Chain A
Amino acid sequence: MADDVLFEFLHMEMVSHIYKDQASRGEMEKDRATCVSTLEGMGFRVGQGLIERFTKDSPSFKDDLDVMKFICKDFWINVFRKQIDNLRTNHQGTYVLQDNKFALLTQFSNGKQYLEEAPKYLAYSCGLVRGALSNLGMDCVVTAEVSLMPSCKFQVVIQKI
């Protein structure tokens, strides 16, 4: 059906458009943060919708770790066509998901070239994860960091009420 390449193209164009658009509307510094939060917000909505469709018929999860394992395996496979390579936790609400060959970064570079541009292309995915977790009952903050492409780490910090 809809090839995953369509999503990649759309995602690239979305990022490009959001940044071009903000640039033409004025001040630089403030806009970079707005762009990221716009993309993240879009990802959030989509993440919520996706997880609803996906877990419609599944039993509920035992605990947070179970949810995170689901995100690392089934969710990641369906969205990014592979599993998360490494999941780490401090057992106190912080999880680090490491993807050694992140689907949206493979076309960028195989190292440090274009490192400054990478965060733009991760904002949407952070939103996806945050949206998915939000609809599974976990409020959290998701950030991403890249030091060597195409590998990247997503950090999920669960917000205790």
Chain B
Amino acid sequence: MVELLQETTTKGHQYEEETCLGQETQAMDIRLNSELFTLTYGALVTQLCKDYENDEEVNKQLDKMGYNIGVRLIEDFLARSSIGRCQDFRETADVISKVAFKMYLGITPSVTNWSPAGDELSLILESNPLVDFVELPDNHSSLVYSNLLCGVLRGALEMVQMAVDVKFAQDTLRGDNVTEIRMKFIKRIEENLPAGDE
């Protein structure tokens, strides 16, 4: 039976620090909740690994599930942030990293490595809350653990008329220094008005 190793030892010192500062209940609530999400995600990936024989299939499923979440999450995001329409892809990238990621995962990835045509960029995540207690065993070297994120971005952007291709270029779980998500703008999706509406 294959299992992803989950250690529950990290962030111990941070937990105590928050308590000392006297902001316990609020910080504890938020922290515990993000652990619920992180641990649930871990259980999900473990289950997918059991259900599907190879990593590629698991990656695909994670992307699909992420897509389904993304098409709904965008509405939640727009409702909470009241951000207006973005003028171009650069602005979109800024909103994604400074507002969306901050709102849902508490991190602000940096936006770099723009392609000369301005249609491809990298999001560099110094830390990734999804992988908090995770280690990949050797026999899952091609598993893209956080692939759900790619699907979420793809689904969310599709709902605002942008077709993008999203994938992980670097992953701390697989030994890289940072986690890098590469996002490429493919095209603008034209809104289709129902026949008879003019």
Q: A residues near B, CB below 8 A?
A: 1-7, 9-11, 13-14, 16-18, 21, 38, 41-43, 45-46, 49-50, 52-54, 56, 77-79, 81, 124
CA of A159 to CA of B95 in the docked complex: distance in angstroms? 52
Among B28, B31, B47, B68, the one with the most A-chain Cβ atoms within 10 Å of its Cβ is B47
B119 within 8 A of A: no
The distance from the CB of B9 to the nearest CB of chain A, in whole angstroms, is 10
CA of A18 to CA of B47 in the docked complex: distance in angstroms? 10
B35 engages A10 (CB within 8 Å): no
CA of A9 to CA of B102 in the docked complex: distance in angstroms? 17
B104 engages A13 (CB within 8 Å): no
**B69: contacting residue among A13, A18, A42, A53, CB under 8 A:** A13
> Which B residues lie within 8 Å of A81 (CB)?
29, 33
A46 engages B36 (CB within 8 Å): yes
Q: Tell me how many residues of B have a C-beta within 8 Å of chain A.
A: 37
CA of A18 to CA of B43 in the docked complex: distance in angstroms? 13
B36 engages A50 (CB within 8 Å): yes
B32 engages A7 (CB within 8 Å): no
Binary interface profile of B, 27-71, with partner A (CB < 8 Å = 1, else 0)? 011111111111111111011000100000000010001001100
> Which B residues lie within 8 Å of A16 (CB)?
68
**A2: contacting residue among B44, B46, B65, B106, CB under 8 A:** B106
Q: Can you list 7 A-B contacts (CB < 8 A)?
A: A2-B106, A7-B36, A10-B69, A13-B68, A14-B65, A45-B39, A46-B42
CA of A150 to CA of B174 in the docked complex: distance in angstroms? 43
- Decide: A7 near B33, CB < 8 A? Known: A2-B104, A46-B43: yes
> Which A residues lie within 8 Å of B42 (CB)?
46
A-B contact count (CB 8 A): 98
**A10: contacting residue among B8, B44, B103, CB under 8 A:** B44
A42 engages B44 (CB within 8 Å): yes
B8 engages A52 (CB within 8 Å): yes
CA of A50 to CA of B36 in the docked complex: distance in angstroms? 7
Among A10, A16, A45, A56, the one with the most B-chain Cβ atoms within 10 Å of its Cβ is A10
> Which B residues lie within 8 Å of A18 (CB)?
47
The distance from the CB of A56 to the nearest CB of chain B, in whole angstroms, is 8
- Decide: A53 near B32, CB < 8 A? Known: A2-B106, A5-B76, A42-B47: yes
**A11: contacting residue among B34, B35, B40, CB under 8 A:** B40
In the A-B complex, the 8 residue pairs with the smallest Cβ-Cβ separation, listed nearest first, are: A2-B34, A1-B106, A42-B43, A78-B32, A1-B34, A46-B39, A2-B37, A7-B37
The distance from the CB of B32 to the nearest CB of chain A, in whole angstroms, is 4
In residues 75-134 of chain B, which contact A (Cβ within 8 Å)?
Answer: 76, 103-106, 129, 133
Minimal Cβ-Cβ distance residue in B for A128: B36
A6 engages B37 (CB within 8 Å): yes
- Decide: A49 near B8, CB < 8 A? Known: A1-B105, A2-B33: yes
CA of A74 to CA of B104 in the docked complex: distance in angstroms? 23
B72 within 8 A of A: yes
